[in-house]
Chain A
Amino acid sequence: MRGTPQQRPTAPNDTSNGRPDTAAGGGPAIGPARLWIDWTACDARGWCAELLPELLTRDPDGYPLDRSPGAHATQDLTIPAQLAGHARRAVDACPRLALRLLPD
């Protein structure tokens, strides 16, 4: 279930997020997953859009923006399985620890 780097949960975020109760992490993202953005933490540095250009672009202020048209009705971004690795890299790279990968 876990062990390989590919399937490692986004554990490093958990304690440094200051939310020890959220040890659940994103869980191993085996299938499709959702990318959750903590909008109160994000400060528009745009690394996520660079690491996940297939799904994310930046709005005029630099905040990450879902590329798919009309997708803003829901808060979470759906990550197809083949992009899960990229998504996890974006999660780990976010300097504000604002991203989290959740099982779908």
Chain B
Amino acid sequence: MTVEHTTCPSPAPTAAPPSSPSPPAPTTSPAAPAASPAAAAASPLRGSPVDWPGPPREPWPAGVHPVHADRDTPAVGGTDGADLPGTAGAGGHATGRLLALAAPDLLGHHRRCGPLPWRGPGGYLLRELHDAGLTGRGGAAFPTWRKLAAVTEAAYPVAGDRLSRRRAGAGGGTGRPRSGGTPVVVANAAEGEPESVKDVTLLAAAPHLVLDGVQLTAEAVGAGDAFVYVKAGSAAAAVVRRAVAERRAAGWDRCVIEVREAPVTFLAGEASAVVAALEGATARPRAHWRPLADTGLHGRPTLVHNVETLAHLAMIARWGSAWFRAVGTADEPGTLLVTVTGAVAAPGVVEVPYGTALGDLVGSRGGAVEPVGALRIGGYAGIWLPVAAGPAVPMSREGLAPWGATPGPGIVSVLPARACGLAETARLVTYLAAQNAGQCGPCVSGLPQLARSVAAMARVAGQDTAPDGENPAQAASRALRLAALVSGRGACHHPDGAARIAHSALRTFAADIRAHTQGHCLGSAHPS
């Protein structure tokens, strides 16, 4: 290790290659596809300020990335995928892509990943992200390139561009920019989901990969400021502060990064709450009818990305979209970090390709320690998956769609068979109701009512008496009505999430509701 240090150039501004506007002669990289003319022709990014470079796209030139030259890590687009980082499949911490390359210090990061592959503005990165099909890892799975394009376009509207003219017209018809100021990039590691630890785990393990993503994004959209917004008191907060100082000392960054701490509340990580917190206000969602990409922090176009998204972005910038697509499914390429929690042998974070079977996912954390009653996908505001769905259900939007679920922020919770799913749901909805930001009438009034109904559903007739005399079946139908009533009626999606988990409990635990109504509980651990 120490011997190798001497051969490794210390990270310094000069270590970064000049951003190369025109790709050098293509290096031979057998599996990498040649330029995709379709992507170039039907470029969705016409709104970016600088025109596309003329020549069709080539794989990243090998010379730019020392990682290709001096180490075990792969050539672009690799051969059979076996030697690519992260293709070892669902293993522990060390086998993923992001986590395999994790290095907490800048020197180690530089050795593993090479310098920052600056691409300059003008859409190189956006096109690569578009081809890679990277989506946001914070839960909404929005295409990352679209967010970058929207911010770029908001900050630098192109004269004659139809979309910006239409929007600018709506803004007074003067054709002036819709928004003020240079864009802002925010790396979001607030991680409000109580069960999720993947963001702070990633940030603590690979802070420089995330910060590289921040820098590359900042460059691509021409951002003036960047923030890392990290859960207060987490180990990641200390690590990322140290990492930012290290980079500043080394002159590694072009855009100044500021670290801010997020309060530990469920909603602190909601994008508009992040903006509010960075402005010094309370971290709660804001009603905004224009997207944050148009007007966010102090009215500036603002990109709020999950830290995992940014880490993937930093890898795509280095190794290209073909490499990224080597794992995962065609529609959902790449890997995702998943927090596996509940009745498993070794709760924790695992990185898996999209489409990995839930059984393998749970198995990678040691497997379930007792008979499984149900799985919950997507955290407190997720979906209950009946155990009858089987361990073969893939962890992907496509695979979970028949169950009405999505991978969400990457959480799989295992509920043991002896636990009562209704009691567990009551706990979740009560928590969510208490975490509402106290701003919107239907949410403030509806969520506590919903929580009471779900709690009444969780009571066992005859054993506990509901204060309002409802039996669990009546409570269930009231919960159904209330869930429909709160959905979509708030400044943020918090009520939708509470409605979603309550609704899925009604479906998944229908037999339990019947049993409760008849005076017994199917889960023997029911707290009575």
Contact = CB atoms under 8 A, between A and B. Distances in A.
B484 A100 contact: no
A40 B286 CA distance: 8
A21 B287 CA distance: 14
Contact of B443 (A23, A36, A39, A72): A39
Interface of A: 1, 21-25, 27, 36-44, 59, 61, 63, 65, 70, 72-75, 100, 102-103
B146 to A, nearest CB: 19
Interface in B468-491: 484-491
Nearest to A28: B170
A42 B290 CA distance: 18
5 contacts: A21-B299, A27-B170, A39-B287, A61-B442, A103-B170
Nearest to A36: B289
A102 B171 CA distance: 12
Contacts of A103: 170
Contact of B287 (A1, A40, A65, A70): A40
Given A39-B442, A61-B442, A100-B289, A73 B488 contact: yes
A44 B442 CA distance: 9
B295 A42 contact: no
A4 to B, nearest CB: 16
* Dominant secondary structure at the A interface: loop
A100 B491 CA distance: 14
Given A22-B290, A23-B172, A75-B488, A43 B441 contact: yes
Interface in B168-195: 169-173, 178-180
Given A21-B179, A27-B170, A40-B286, A74 B441 contact: no
Contacts of A21: 179-180, 295, 299
Given A21-B295, A24-B178, A38-B491, A72 B485 contact: yes
Contacts of A42: 440-441
Interface of B: 167, 169-173, 178-180, 286-287, 289-290, 295, 299, 439-443, 445, 484-491, 496
Contacts of B167: 24
Given A39-B287, A74-B488, 13 more contacts: A38-B287, A39-B439, A39-B440, A40-B440, A43-B441, A59-B442, A61-B442, A63-B441, A63-B442, A72-B488, A72-B489, A73-B496, A100-B289
A102 B167 CA distance: 11
Contacts, number: 70
A74 B493 CA distance: 10
Nearest to B300: A21
Instruction: Name the residue in B289, B485, B491 with the highest tally of chain A Cβ atoms < 10 Å from its Cβ.
Output: B289
A59 B299 CA distance: 34
A23 B171 contact: yes
A104 B34 CA distance: 40
Contacts of A43: 441
B445 A40 contact: no
Contact of B289 (A1, A61, A102): A102
Contacts of B289: 22, 36, 38, 100, 102
A3 to B, nearest CB: 12
Instruction: Name the residue in B180, B488, B490 with the highest tally of chain A Cβ atoms < 10 Å from its Cβ.
Output: B488
A23 B179 CA distance: 10
Contacts of B170: 24-25, 27, 103
A23 B441 CA distance: 27
B489 A39 contact: yes
A39 B171 contact: no
Contacts of A23: 171-172
Contacts of B173: 1
Contacts of A75: 488-490
B179 A44 contact: no
A43 B445 CA distance: 12
A65 B443 CA distance: 13
Instruction: Name the residue in B295, B440, B441 with the highest tally of chain A Cβ atoms < 10 Å from its Cβ.
Output: B441
A71 to B, nearest CB: 8
Nearest to B174: A23
B401 to A, nearest CB: 15
Nearest to A34: B289
Contacts of B180: 21
A43 B180 CA distance: 31
Contacts of B172: 23-24
A61 B60 CA distance: 59
